[in-house]
Structure 1
Amino acid sequence: MTVKLHAITFDCVDPQALAQFWSRVLGQDVDPSDSPGIATIGMGQSSPFYVFQKLDGLPAGRNRAHPDFATSDYEAECTRLLGVGASVVAEVKENGIRFTTFTDPEGNTFDLADE
Protein backbone atom coordinates (compact mmCIF):
# COMPACT_ATOMS: atom_id res chain seq x y z
CA MET A 1 0.00 0.00 0.00
CA THR A 2 1.21 3.54 -0.69
CA VAL A 3 0.13 7.02 0.25
CA LYS A 4 0.17 10.27 -1.68
CA LEU A 5 -0.02 13.87 -0.61
CA HIS A 6 -3.71 14.81 -0.60
CA ALA A 7 -3.80 18.35 0.80
CA ILE A 8 -1.74 20.94 2.58
CA THR A 9 -3.78 22.35 5.45
CA PHE A 10 -3.17 25.64 7.22
CA ASP A 11 -4.71 26.19 10.65
CA CYS A 12 -5.46 29.91 10.77
CA VAL A 13 -7.48 32.76 12.25
CA ASP A 14 -8.99 34.07 8.99
CA PRO A 15 -9.36 31.35 6.33
CA GLN A 16 -10.69 33.65 3.60
CA ALA A 17 -7.91 36.23 3.98
CA LEU A 18 -5.17 33.61 4.11
CA ALA A 19 -6.63 31.77 1.10
CA GLN A 20 -6.62 35.07 -0.83
CA PHE A 21 -2.91 35.53 -0.05
CA TRP A 22 -2.08 31.98 -1.18
CA SER A 23 -4.25 32.34 -4.30
CA ARG A 24 -2.00 35.24 -5.34
CA VAL A 25 1.15 33.23 -4.53
CA LEU A 26 -0.05 30.14 -6.44
CA GLY A 27 -1.84 31.95 -9.27
CA GLN A 28 -5.03 29.97 -8.60
CA ASP A 29 -8.51 31.13 -7.58
CA VAL A 30 -10.01 30.44 -4.18
CA ASP A 31 -12.76 27.83 -4.51
CA PRO A 32 -16.35 28.88 -3.81
CA SER A 33 -17.39 27.96 -0.27
CA ASP A 34 -20.49 28.14 1.93
CA SER A 35 -18.48 27.71 5.12
CA PRO A 36 -16.85 30.73 6.76
CA GLY A 37 -14.52 28.41 8.70
CA ILE A 38 -12.96 26.73 5.65
CA ALA A 39 -11.48 27.98 2.39
CA THR A 40 -9.78 25.89 -0.29
CA ILE A 41 -7.72 26.29 -3.43
CA GLY A 42 -7.68 23.60 -6.13
CA MET A 43 -10.08 21.19 -4.44
CA GLY A 44 -11.25 18.60 -6.95
CA GLN A 45 -8.81 19.89 -9.57
CA SER A 46 -5.47 18.57 -8.46
CA SER A 47 -3.63 16.93 -5.66
CA PRO A 48 -2.40 18.29 -3.44
CA PHE A 49 -4.90 21.03 -2.92
CA TYR A 50 -4.78 23.68 -0.20
CA VAL A 51 -7.09 23.94 2.82
CA PHE A 52 -7.35 26.89 5.21
CA GLN A 53 -9.30 26.11 8.37
CA LYS A 54 -10.23 28.38 11.23
CA LEU A 55 -8.79 27.15 14.49
CA ASP A 56 -9.19 28.89 17.81
CA GLY A 57 -6.23 28.86 20.19
CA LEU A 58 -3.46 28.54 17.64
CA PRO A 59 -0.11 27.65 19.20
CA ALA A 60 2.62 30.27 18.99
CA GLY A 61 5.89 29.59 17.23
CA ARG A 62 7.09 28.17 13.95
CA ASN A 63 4.91 25.68 12.12
CA ARG A 64 6.42 22.19 12.16
CA ALA A 65 5.82 21.47 8.48
CA HIS A 66 5.94 23.88 5.59
CA PRO A 67 5.68 23.87 1.80
CA ASP A 68 8.76 24.39 -0.37
CA PHE A 69 8.39 25.92 -3.82
CA ALA A 70 10.97 26.29 -6.60
CA THR A 71 11.31 28.71 -9.50
CA SER A 72 13.65 29.38 -12.39
CA ASP A 73 13.09 33.16 -12.01
CA TYR A 74 14.18 33.44 -8.40
CA GLU A 75 14.75 37.19 -8.02
CA ALA A 76 11.50 38.13 -9.77
CA GLU A 77 9.50 35.60 -7.78
CA CYS A 78 10.96 36.80 -4.46
CA THR A 79 9.94 40.34 -5.40
CA ARG A 80 6.46 39.18 -6.40
CA LEU A 81 5.95 37.29 -3.13
CA LEU A 82 6.91 40.38 -1.14
CA GLY A 83 4.44 42.37 -3.23
CA VAL A 84 1.52 40.10 -2.36
CA GLY A 85 2.24 40.29 1.39
CA ALA A 86 4.92 37.72 2.25
CA SER A 87 7.74 38.64 4.64
CA VAL A 88 11.34 37.44 4.52
CA VAL A 89 12.60 35.42 7.49
CA ALA A 90 15.96 34.30 6.11
CA GLU A 91 17.98 34.15 2.92
CA VAL A 92 20.13 31.03 2.76
CA LYS A 93 22.97 29.90 0.52
CA GLU A 94 24.46 26.55 1.49
CA ASN A 95 25.77 23.47 -0.29
CA GLY A 96 25.13 25.09 -3.67
CA ILE A 97 21.45 25.73 -2.88
CA ARG A 98 19.87 29.16 -2.58
CA PHE A 99 16.49 29.67 -0.97
CA THR A 100 14.50 32.25 0.95
CA THR A 101 12.27 31.46 3.90
CA PHE A 102 9.14 33.61 3.95
CA THR A 103 6.10 33.93 6.17
CA ASP A 104 2.55 34.44 5.00
CA PRO A 105 0.37 37.10 6.69
CA GLU A 106 -0.39 34.77 9.63
CA GLY A 107 3.23 33.79 10.22
CA ASN A 108 3.26 30.36 8.48
CA THR A 109 6.66 29.70 6.95
CA PHE A 110 7.38 28.54 3.42
CA ASP A 111 10.52 28.41 1.31
CA LEU A 112 11.28 29.45 -2.25
CA ALA A 113 14.27 27.74 -3.85
CA ASP A 114 16.25 28.77 -6.90
CA GLU A 115 16.06 25.94 -9.45
Structure 2
Amino acid sequence: MQIQINTDRNVEGHEKFSHQVETKIKDVLNRFSKHITRIEVHISDENSDKGGMNDKRCLMEARMEGRQPIAVTHQATNLSLAVHGAVDKLKNLIEGTLGRLDNH
Protein backbone atom coordinates (compact mmCIF):
# COMPACT_ATOMS: atom_id res chain seq x y z
CA MET A 1 0.00 0.00 0.00
CA GLN A 2 1.59 3.22 -1.19
CA ILE A 3 0.74 6.47 0.56
CA GLN A 4 1.20 9.81 -1.20
CA ILE A 5 0.73 13.01 0.80
CA ASN A 6 0.12 16.35 -0.93
CA THR A 7 -0.32 19.74 0.71
CA ASP A 8 -1.37 23.07 -0.74
CA ARG A 9 0.86 26.13 -0.55
CA ASN A 10 -0.84 27.26 2.68
CA VAL A 11 0.19 24.15 4.61
CA GLU A 12 3.74 23.54 5.66
CA GLY A 13 4.37 19.91 4.72
CA HIS A 14 6.93 19.11 7.36
CA GLU A 15 8.50 15.68 7.36
CA LYS A 16 7.27 15.13 10.91
CA PHE A 17 3.64 15.93 10.01
CA SER A 18 3.78 13.76 6.87
CA HIS A 19 5.18 10.91 8.93
CA GLN A 20 2.38 11.31 11.50
CA VAL A 21 -0.24 11.22 8.72
CA GLU A 22 1.31 8.13 7.16
CA THR A 23 1.53 6.37 10.54
CA LYS A 24 -2.13 7.14 11.33
CA ILE A 25 -3.25 5.78 7.95
CA LYS A 26 -1.21 2.60 8.36
CA ASP A 27 -2.49 2.05 11.91
CA VAL A 28 -6.14 2.39 10.91
CA LEU A 29 -6.12 0.79 7.44
CA ASN A 30 -3.43 -1.89 7.78
CA ARG A 31 -5.92 -4.76 7.85
CA PHE A 32 -7.14 -3.71 4.39
CA SER A 33 -3.63 -3.34 2.92
CA LYS A 34 -3.97 -6.40 0.65
CA HIS A 35 -6.97 -4.73 -1.06
CA ILE A 36 -5.55 -1.19 -1.29
CA THR A 37 -2.88 -0.36 -3.84
CA ARG A 38 -2.50 3.35 -3.10
CA ILE A 39 -3.86 6.13 -0.91
CA GLU A 40 -3.56 9.76 -1.94
CA VAL A 41 -3.94 12.42 0.72
CA HIS A 42 -4.60 16.08 -0.10
CA ILE A 43 -4.33 18.48 2.84
CA SER A 44 -5.29 22.12 2.53
CA ASP A 45 -5.93 25.25 4.54
CA GLU A 46 -8.82 26.87 2.72
CA ASN A 47 -8.61 30.28 4.41
CA SER A 48 -4.82 30.47 4.55
CA ASP A 49 -3.65 32.81 7.30
CA LYS A 50 -7.10 34.42 7.72
CA GLY A 51 -8.24 31.66 10.07
CA GLY A 52 -11.77 30.49 10.51
CA MET A 53 -13.83 27.59 11.72
CA ASN A 54 -13.31 24.25 10.01
CA ASP A 55 -11.01 25.70 7.36
CA LYS A 56 -8.55 22.78 7.41
CA ARG A 57 -9.49 20.11 4.87
CA CYS A 58 -8.25 16.57 4.29
CA LEU A 59 -9.30 14.60 1.22
CA MET A 60 -8.30 10.93 1.00
CA GLU A 61 -8.65 8.77 -2.06
CA ALA A 62 -8.11 5.02 -1.88
CA ARG A 63 -7.39 2.99 -4.96
CA MET A 64 -8.44 -0.59 -4.49
CA GLU A 65 -7.60 -3.58 -6.68
CA GLY A 66 -10.15 -4.06 -9.45
CA ARG A 67 -12.43 -1.25 -8.25
CA GLN A 68 -13.08 2.40 -8.86
CA PRO A 69 -11.27 4.79 -6.51
CA ILE A 70 -13.20 5.89 -3.44
CA ALA A 71 -12.75 9.24 -1.73
CA VAL A 72 -13.75 11.00 1.47
CA THR A 73 -13.20 14.49 2.81
CA HIS A 74 -13.25 15.97 6.29
CA GLN A 75 -13.00 19.57 7.48
CA ALA A 76 -11.92 20.59 10.97
CA THR A 77 -10.40 23.39 13.00
CA ASN A 78 -6.88 21.94 12.77
CA LEU A 79 -4.94 19.66 10.43
CA SER A 80 -4.68 16.76 12.85
CA LEU A 81 -8.46 16.60 13.38
CA ALA A 82 -9.04 16.85 9.63
CA VAL A 83 -6.73 13.88 9.00
CA HIS A 84 -8.22 11.79 11.81
CA GLY A 85 -11.76 12.47 10.60
CA ALA A 86 -10.91 11.61 7.00
CA VAL A 87 -9.12 8.37 7.85
CA ASP A 88 -12.04 7.26 10.03
CA LYS A 89 -14.51 8.01 7.23
CA LEU A 90 -12.31 6.12 4.76
CA LYS A 91 -12.10 3.11 7.10
CA ASN A 92 -15.89 3.01 7.38
CA LEU A 93 -16.32 3.30 3.62
CA ILE A 94 -13.82 0.51 2.94
CA GLU A 95 -15.41 -1.71 5.60
CA GLY A 96 -18.80 -1.16 3.98
CA THR A 97 -17.48 -1.85 0.50
CA LEU A 98 -15.58 -5.00 1.43
CA GLY A 99 -18.35 -6.16 3.75
CA ARG A 100 -20.87 -5.97 0.93
CA LEU A 101 -18.56 -8.01 -1.27
CA ASP A 102 -18.19 -10.68 1.41
CA ASN A 103 -21.98 -10.94 1.68
CA HIS A 104 -22.43 -11.71 -2.04
Q: Please say whether Structure 1 and Structure 2 have the same fold, judged by a TM-score greater than 0.5.
A: no
More strand by percentage: 1
Greater share of residues in helix: 2
Normalised TM-score (structure 1): 0.29
**TM-score after normalising by structure 2:** 0.31
